Amino acid sequence: METRGIRPPPGRRRPGELKGQPMQREFEKELDAIKATVLTMAGLVEKSLDDANRALTGRDSNLARAVIAADEEIDRYEVEIDRMVSEFIVRHQPAATDLRFVVVAIKLGPELERVADHAVNIARRVLDLNERPLLKPLIDLPRMLNLARAMVSDAIAAYVRRDAAAAREIIARDDDVDDLYLQLFRELISFMIEDPHTITRAIDLLFVARFAERIADQATNISEEVVYLVEGIPIRHQPFESGRPAGEGPE
């Protein structure tokens, strides 16, 4: 029977217009809000990393204190993402990739919060380092921090774009940070062996290097979640193409 051209009685709407379309708009609006909140938190974390690096290289104690003070706001965003995702799941019961997208969002909050904590730890070491003469020119350490920071930024971009290929490329870049960490570790150990008076300063720099290495590990964790988001396959704790287990750096 031909039904084309039949319209509902005046004052009535088709079921899809009455319920489905507004619900879909609300679904997409809340999904976008979750994404925007993750991006806002990521932006604050990236700023903390940049400021910690500048505080280190510029021996800027005031900037280091600002990094420490900014951590409270970042912590609030982690809690907010948790709340938004939990309410979204209860309200909309998403499935497939939409479900994975919000599940990954709730996992990204703690990962980003840990990155911010590492930035705070670096800032605290900067305050200690600034009380004594510089042990050595800071070249590889800022480079290491820049590499780790770029990994975090690119991992978040891969999440937003749902780009598994980019995420896998970020995971592979973790080896570069690990190699720099090992290089700095050996160099600073040599300083301590040759002159015990350098031990305190060398240990502070070693801690900064370790925090930078851990930041790269958090970026790796985020990237692994992006692969799961897109492909539906968890790859954490599995060997990666580099031959080094994914997310694992030197101890």
Per-residue pLDDT tens digits for 1-49: 444 443 444 444 433 443 457 778 888 999 999 999 999 999 999 999 9
DSSP string, 113-144: HHHHHHHHHHHHHHHHHTTS--SS--SHHHHH
Which structural domain range is residue 190 located in?
Answer: 19-231
- Residue 243 domain-assigned (yes or no): no
Query: CATH number of the domain that 92 lies in?
Result: 1.20.58.220
Per-residue pLDDT tens digits for 66-88: 999 999 999 999 999 999 999 99
- Residue 13 domain-assigned (yes or no): no
CA-based nearest residue to 168, from 118, 242, 237: 242
pLDDT exceeds 50 at position 146: yes
- Residue 3 domain-assigned (yes or no): no
- Residue 237 domain-assigned (yes or no): no
Per-residue pLDDT tens digits for 171-202: 999 999 999 999 999 999 999 999 999 999 99
**How many domains, the chain?**
1
What whole-number distance in Å separates Cα of residue 187 and Cα of residue 191? 7
What whole-number distance in Å separates Cα of residue 30 and Cα of residue 36? 10
pTM attached to this predicted model: 0.83
CA-based nearest residue to 203, from 127, 129, 118: 129
Half-sphere exposure of 170 (CA within 13 A, CB side): 31
